[in-house]
Amino acid sequence: MAKRNKLQKFEQLNSFNNVFQNFNFEKPALVGAHGETIELKGNWVKEHFGNDKPLVLELACGRGEYSLALAEKYPDKNFIGVDVKGARIWKGAIIAKEKKLENVAFVRTRIEQLALFFGLGEVSEIWITFPDPFLKKSKANRRLTSKYFLDSYKNVLKEHAVCHLKTDNTMLYEYSLEVFEEERVIVNYKNADIYSGPLYIPELEFKTYYEKMHLEKQLKIKYIQFMLT
């Protein structure tokens, strides 16, 4: 039953006009509704959203809770949730359609391939919300705040763009700060327990499915706002 439901979701994704998928990671290309290959690199705002508003990415977006919440709160911006899991993106895409949110879309691809689908200086802001911390040292390069990924973000971010990391994982939080110091990343703000006092920015009040689970376990939520140089 679960397998059939997943296949149905994948079939629906193929017809959604707010979802773009990269099916072949070795021969990457974005496919839109009804299997149409689409080239939007450098033109997302104009060609897909039909405006000139800033573009914000949520990486490892999962079900897209943050992208959806941000899109509702900030209609003057465009949002794209990026994740490799189609079944997760399906949920966010469905909610976006139900709420008629025209300023949010989803891209299914590996985050390593961002620069293939977004142009130089095209992205105004990045959110990284509760990513897999990849606890083993052998997988450190897969952490979304590793030097490898930071370098890749530079290929799509505007100058002085703000990035956000929100996590429950102490190791990832401390690791990120160490990398930022080594790479001379500008840290605007850091907090190892954001709910212990007033929130630094109102966007931190949004809670993902995973964050709610972490809070039930009385885990502290951590946050870093940073800028790449």
How far is the CA of 62 from the CAs of 3, 8, 178, in angstroms?
19, 18, 26
* Structure tokens given for 211: 């964050």
CA distance 75 to 117: 23
Q: 36, 59, 43, 72: which is closest to 106 by C-alpha?
A: 59
pLDDT of residue 3: 52
CB 143 within 8 A of CB 165: no
Q: Which helix (H) or strand (E) holds 224?
A: strand 222-227
The pTM for the full model equals 0.94
Task: Kindly give, in sequence order, each residue whose CB lies less than 8 Å from that of residue 89, ignoring residues fewer than 6 positions away.
Answer: 13, 19, 61, 63, 64, 81, 83, 106, 108
pLDDT of residue 189: 98
Residue 29: CA atoms inside 13 Å, Cβ hemisphere, count? 7
pLDDT of residue 1: 43
pLDDT of residue 87: 86
**DSSP per-residue letters across 39-97:** --TT-IIIIII-S---EEEEET-TT-HHHHHHHHH-TTSEEEEEES-HHHHHHHHHHHH
CA distance 19 to 37: 12
Domains and CATH numbers, the chain: 38-227 (3.40.50.150)
CA distance 175 to 157: 22
* Structure tokens given for 207: 């809670």
Task: Kindly give, in sequence order, each residue whose CB lies less than 8 Å from that of residue 84, ignoring residues fewer than 6 positions away.
Answer: 108, 109, 110, 111
186 three-state secondary structure: strand
Mean pLDDT by runs of 10 across the 229 residues of the chain is: 63 88 92 91 97 97 95 98 92 95 97 96 97 94 97 96 97 98 97 97 92 90 96
35-69 per-residue burial string, b: 16 or more CB within 10 A, e: under 16: eeeeebbeebbeebbeeebbbbbbbbbbbbbbbbb
78-83 and 55-59 strand pairing: parallel
Active site residues: 132
CA distance 172 to 60: 15
